[in-house]
């Protein structure tokens, strides 16, 4: 009788890991086992100690006490170089890339292995081809990193780690700045890595991601390891209770916006929006797709208080808009709603105004900018300068007339003004119309950050790529009606295109 195969040693085993930062006890006698060839999640509230623990494993910090075992062997990891030598790679929240280097140059940076770059470049090029075939990590080796989308930059970081021989890959909050489509592609890469025998450790606070992609999960709370379970044997509710130490009621977020059977007519009494109903909840982006002229503009204007309702009801939080109880844009803003209009020059900005004046337009009565009849121009300009820096508005001159900024920078002025008010609901129309590729990426990132911060975002765009990459759910308008609803993961250009053309008219449930 043949003896059973021996159980392989864990890829990672941590025993009794302690770490203090002064009076702060960041990690308290942590034990953790990560099986080889699995995707292992580590979750916990902010400050639970999970990033500190992984920084110890990668050599950014050295534990005050405890042991690290790699493949069953006790290993001292005092520096990232020690971790790399032990087959551990890490992709941080903020990527460690040189923007003006090419992909290939970033991959070999720090691993040149001598004065001659030819051999290592050749090896890296060959490695890139193999990684593309094995893991769907398709990246142009000659592209400058500064020209790459965030999701592609993340792939470069993964390739860097694999090029250095990583068998264990740690990723810290990897989906924080990714679109839903990019996140799905990243999860496919995780599964392919696992299937090829690699081990993936995923640090996240998103329970849905844990349930969707991991094989096992460990929960940390206040610097301690609460427990580890197989993902298939737990639930979001159980994990949430382990994270906070008490029973948690997880329920779907209340709608930030509820639209009930509304009709909007034009000045000729023609219905432009005809019996439309839908909801937008906190923490999601709902996209409205459609060929221009099918009622999207009129819908957005009604939601912003610009156009009156002929029928139906709009509920924003606890506030109602009806034909007999209308609202104007000022009142809508008071309900903590931001609005990025489709036409920035005619509805979002006063072009002869200086940048700082447009930076507070509509919010100029806020107490930050003065009281009574007098405005505090110094405060307005100081606030504008902060937005210019944060949103990379060029040229960085708050006294420049708005008409003298490029279209993309004009759009950033509007985006900055509306997003920085921290609205619970953001209405966005054609956010990247006439905007260059760099500004497009910047604006998309801001919308994703709004969603991840628990805000509700309604996105109207005629760009299918934009809708499909940003939205969690997609509604399609045709002839003033909602003719279909799709989960973004199921949507294709063909299915959306047919509905946009009125060929498939499926009533929204």
Which CATH superfamily, name and number, covers 12-244?
P-loop containing nucleotide triphosphate hydrolases (3.40.50.300)
Confidence of residue 505 (pLDDT cuts 50, 70, 90): very low
Q: How many other C-beta atoms are found inside a 10 Å radius of the C-beta of residue 360?
A: 22
What pLDDT sits at residue 111? 67
- Cβ contacts of 452 within 8 Å, gap of 6 or more: 176, 283
Confidence of residue 508 (pLDDT cuts 50, 70, 90): very low
**In which residue are the tokens 């592209």 written?**
143
What pLDDT sits at residue 507? 39
What pLDDT sits at residue 112? 63
Would you say the CATH fold of 255-500 matches that of 12-244?
yes
The average confidence (pLDDT) of the chain is 89
Strand-strand pairing, 39-43 and 216-221: parallel
pTM recorded for the entire structure: 0.65
What pLDDT sits at residue 457? 97
- The CATH topology of domain 255-500 is Rossmann fold (3.40.50)
What pLDDT sits at residue 254? 74
- Cβ contacts of 122 within 8 Å, gap of 6 or more: none
Measured CA distances, 36 to 17, 32, 76 (Å): 20, 13, 19
Measured CA distances, 485 to 189, 290, 295, 470 (Å): 28, 12, 16, 15
| Residue environment code for 83-120, b if the CB has 16+ CB neighbours within 10 A, otherwise e | bbebbbbbbbeebebeeeebbbbbbbeeeeeeeeeeeb
Q: Where are the chain's structural domains?
A: 12-244, 255-500
pLDDT in tens, 277-307: 999 999 899 999 998 899 999 999 999 999 9
Longest dimension (CA), the chain: 94
Q: What is the mean pLDDT of residues 247-263?
A: 77
Percent of the chain having pLDDT more than 90? 60
Confidence of residue 249 (pLDDT cuts 50, 70, 90): low
Confidence of residue 247 (pLDDT cuts 50, 70, 90): low
Rg of the Cα trace of the chain?
26
Positive or negative torsion for Cα 56, 59, 63, 69: positive
- pLDDT for residue 244 is more than 70: yes
pLDDT in tens, 456-488: 999 999 888 899 989 999 999 999 999 988 888
């Amino acid at each position: 009788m043949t003896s059973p195969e021996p159980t392989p040693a864990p890829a990672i085993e941590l025993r009794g890991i302690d770490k203090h930062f002064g009076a702060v006890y960041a990690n308290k006698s942590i034990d953790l086992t990560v099986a080889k060839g699995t995707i292992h999640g580590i979750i916990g509230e902010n400050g639970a100690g999970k990033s500190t623990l992984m920084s110890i494993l990668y050599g950014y910090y050295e534990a005050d006490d405890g042991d690290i075992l790699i493949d069953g062997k006790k290993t001292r990891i005092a520096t990232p170089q020690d971790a790399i030598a032990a087959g551990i790679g890490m992709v941080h929240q903020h990527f460690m890339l040189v923007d003006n280097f090419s992909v290939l140059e970033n991959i070999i940076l720090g691993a040149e292995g001598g004065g001659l770059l030819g051999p290592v470049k050749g090896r890296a090029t060959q490695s890139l081809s193999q990684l593309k075939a094995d893991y769907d990590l398709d990246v142009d080796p000659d592209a400058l990193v500064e020209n790459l989308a965030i999701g592609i930059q993340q792939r470069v970081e993964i390739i860097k780690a694999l090029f250095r021989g990583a068998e264990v890959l740690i990723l810290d909050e990897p989906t924080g700045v990714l679109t839903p489509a990019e996140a799905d592609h990243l999860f496919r890469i995780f599964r392919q890595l696992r299937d090829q025998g690699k081990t993936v450790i995923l640090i996240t606070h998103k329970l849905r991601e844990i349930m969707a992609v991991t094989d096992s999960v460990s929960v940390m709370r206040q610097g301690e390891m609460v427990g580890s379970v197989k993902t298939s044997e737990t639930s979001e509710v159980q994990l949430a209770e382990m994270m906070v130490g008490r029973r948690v009621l997880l329920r779907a977020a209340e709608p930030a916006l509820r639209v009930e059977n509304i009709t909007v007519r034009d000045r000729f009494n023609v219905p432009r929006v005809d019996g439309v109903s839908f909801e937008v909840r906190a923490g999601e982006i709902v996209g409205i797709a459609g060929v221009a002229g099918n009622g999207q503009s009129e819908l957005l204007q009604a939601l912003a208080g610009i156009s009156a309702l002929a029928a139906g009801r709009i509920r924003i939080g606890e506030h109602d808009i009806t034909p007999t109880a209308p609202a104007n844009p000022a009142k809508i803003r008071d309900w903590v709603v931001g609005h990025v209009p489709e036409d920035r020059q005619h509805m979002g900005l006063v072009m002869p105004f200086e940048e700082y004046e447009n930076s507070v337009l509509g919010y100029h009565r806020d107490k930050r900018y003065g009281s009574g009849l007098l405005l505090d121009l110094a405060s307005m300009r100081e606030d504008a300068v902060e937005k210019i820096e944060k949103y990379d508005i060029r040229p960085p001159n708050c006294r420049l007339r708005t008409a003298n900024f490029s279209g993309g920078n004009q759009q950033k002025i509007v985006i900055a003004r509306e997003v920085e008010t921290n609205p619970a609901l953001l209405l966005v129309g054609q956010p990247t119309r006439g905007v260059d590729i760099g500004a497009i990426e910047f604006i998309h990132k801001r919308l994703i950050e709004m969603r991840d911060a628990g805000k509700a975002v309604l996105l109207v765009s005629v760009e299918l790529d934009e809708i499909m990459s940003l939205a969690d759910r997609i509604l399609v308008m045709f002839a003033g009606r909602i003719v279909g609803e799709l989960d973004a993961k199921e949507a294709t250009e063909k299915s959306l295109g047919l509905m946009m053309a009125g060929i498939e008219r499926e009533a929204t449930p």
